[in-house]
């Protein structure tokens, strides 16, 4: 096909031709119609998805910008500042010692030793302060993920209808590429730590919801029957039986959430969140490969420590005793 006609023409030209010339050269026009249908079927309909979404986002931003900047930003920023202040006021030596104790208690002495090595390396590479910022961002994001995700997870486990509503939402949240969150976050919250945190919270929350729901639903019905037989109320069953027994699963969700939060916090550097992510981003921008790698190594070390410790906590959870049988 030489020289294709301009797009606007190509899109609709088959229809009027068929309408006008139906009587004179039916056969030829029908063949032409089928040819267009086979070779360029998408020309018939133009779904204005791009425009619709732009409109929706614009509407949301216009409607909620004030709301989000007055009611959502302050608590998020407040918690973030508090956590960061707390973490940065611990002297690095004491901090490292504390992670050793935590690693030992949560998992094993090996994990404790590993934490010491990892944090010491981060310090020696000269990105300690950046690490503290990243850790504060992660802790803050995870705090909100649990605060919102846990009740949603519990609700999902108790009502099939609510879970039916949550499922597609969670699917969308999890499959949307992380970069996509950044645009509306910036539009709603401007740039800086807060939009990065908001994007992180949204991106990292699904595992908590999903696994809380899963953990509670998978509690062996025998235990629930026993609780019922002794006259427990629904609430007592939830808090005395289901929740503790779901704890290992919930902890696995928390672990995933922490990992997702860490990865997102790094990406959020693009919109002005600080920390190790910024190190990577700035390094890449200036083609300073060394700087970018230092940031990257710091992120990996932090991720490994957080992973080992939360996994250890998960195995300490009370309900884990059930797995022995």
Q: Is 271 exposed, middle or buried (0-12, 13-18, 19+ CB in 10 A)?
A: buried
Beta strands in the chain (DSSP E): none
- Lookup: tokens for 9: 């023409």
Task: Select from 226, 284, 289, 300 the one that contacts another protein (CB under 8 A).
Answer: 226
Candidates 33-41, 49-57, 194-202, 313-321 — which segment interacts with another protein by CB under 8 A?
313-321
- Cβ closest to another protein, residue 176 vs residue 233: 233
H helices within 190-288, ranges in order? 193-204, 206-217, 221-229, 234-236, 243-267, 276-285
314 is a contact residue toward another protein (CB under 8 A): no
**Lookup result for tokens 């879970």:** 163
Where on the phi/psi map is residue 245: left (φ > 0), alpha (ψ -120 to 50), or beta?
Answer: alpha
Nearer to another protein, 241 or 264 (CB): 241
Q: From CA 238, how far away is CA 241, in angstroms rounded?
A: 6
CB of 208 to another protein, least distance (A): 20
231 near another protein, rule: CB under 8 A: yes
- Give, as ranges, the residues between 166 and 225 that touch another protein (CB under 8 A): 222-223, 225
Nearest to 37 by CA among 15, 19, 8: 15
Q: Does 233 bind another protein (CB under 8 A)?
A: yes
* CB nearer to another protein: pick between 25 and 233: 233
Asked whether position 318 contacts another protein by CB under 8 A, the answer is: yes
**Site residues (CB under 8 A) for another protein, limited to 246-305:** 247
* Shortest distance in whole angstroms from residue 214 CB to another protein: 18
Least spacing, CB of residue 154 vs another protein, in Å: 18
Q: Closest distance between another protein and the C-beta of residue 159, in Å?
A: 18
Tell me: does residue 229 bind another protein (CB under 8 A).
Answer: yes
* Residue 62 engages another protein in binding (rule: CB under 8 A): no
Cα separation, 6 vs 18, in Å, equals 19
By the rule CB under 8 A, 319 interacts with another protein: yes
Query: How many other CB atoms are there within 10 angstroms of residue 149's CB atom?
Result: 27
Between the two ends of the chain, the Cα-to-Cα distance in Å is 70
Q: Closer CB to another protein, residue 59 or residue 239?
A: 239
* Shorter beta-carbon distance to another protein: residue 285 or 315: 315
Half-sphere exposure of 164 (CA within 13 A, CB side): 3
Residue of 94, 97, 77 whose CA lies nearest to 85: 77
- From candidates 69, 236, 282, 303, binder to another protein by CB under 8 A: 236
Decide if residue 321 touches another protein (CB under 8 A): yes
What H or E segment, with its residue span, contains residue 323? Answer: none
CA-CA-CA-CA torsion sign (86, 91, 92, 98): negative
Which member of 94, 124, 287, 325 binds another protein (CB under 8 A)? Answer: 325
- Residue 235 makes contact with another protein by CB under 8 A: no
Phi–psi pair at 218, nearest 5 degrees: -90, 5
Residues that bind another protein (CB under 8 A): 222-223, 225-233, 236, 240-241, 244-245, 247, 318-319, 321-322, 324-325
């Amino acid at each position: 096909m030489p020289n294709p006609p301009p797009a606007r023409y190509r899109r609709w030209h088959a229809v009027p031709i068929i309408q006008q010339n139906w009587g004179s050269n039916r056969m030829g026009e029908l063949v032409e119609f089928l040819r267009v249908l086979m070779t360029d079927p998408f020309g018939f309909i133009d779904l204005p998805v791009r425009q619709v979404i732009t409109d929706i986002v614009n509407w949301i931003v216009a409607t909620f910008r004030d709301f989000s900047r007055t009611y959502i930003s302050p608590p998020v920023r407040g918690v973030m500042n508090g956590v960061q202040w707390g973490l940065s006021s611990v002297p690095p030596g004491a901090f490292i010692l504390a992670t050793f104790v935590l690693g030992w208690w949560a998992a094993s002495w090996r994990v404790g030793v590993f934490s010491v090595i990892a944090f010491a390396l981060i310090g020696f590479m000269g990105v300690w302060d950046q690490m503290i910022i990243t850790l504060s961002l992660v802790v803050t994001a995870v705090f909100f993920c649990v605060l919102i995700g846990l009740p949603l997870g519990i609700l999902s486990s108790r009502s099939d209808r609510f879970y039916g509503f949550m499922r597609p939402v969670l699917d969308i949240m999890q499959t949307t590429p992380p970069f996509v969150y950044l645009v509306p976050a910036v539009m709603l919250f401007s740039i800086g730590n807060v939009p990065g945190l908001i994007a992180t919270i949204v991106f990292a929350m699904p595992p908590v919801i999903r696994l809380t729901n899963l953990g509670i639903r998978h509690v062996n019905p025998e235990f629930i029957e026993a609780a019922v037989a002794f006259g427990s109320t629904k609430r007592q069953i939830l808090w005395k039986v289901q929740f503790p027994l779901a704890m290992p699963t919930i902890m696995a969700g928390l672990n995933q959430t922490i990992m997702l939060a860490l990865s997102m916090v790094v990406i959020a550097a693009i919109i002005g969140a600080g920390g190790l992510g910024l190190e990577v981003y700035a390094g890449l921008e200036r083609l300073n490969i060394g700087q970018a790698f230092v940031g990257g190594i710091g992120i990996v070390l932090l991720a490994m420590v957080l992973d080992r410790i939360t996994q250890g906590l998960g195995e300490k959870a009370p309900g884990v005793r059930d797995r022995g049988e």
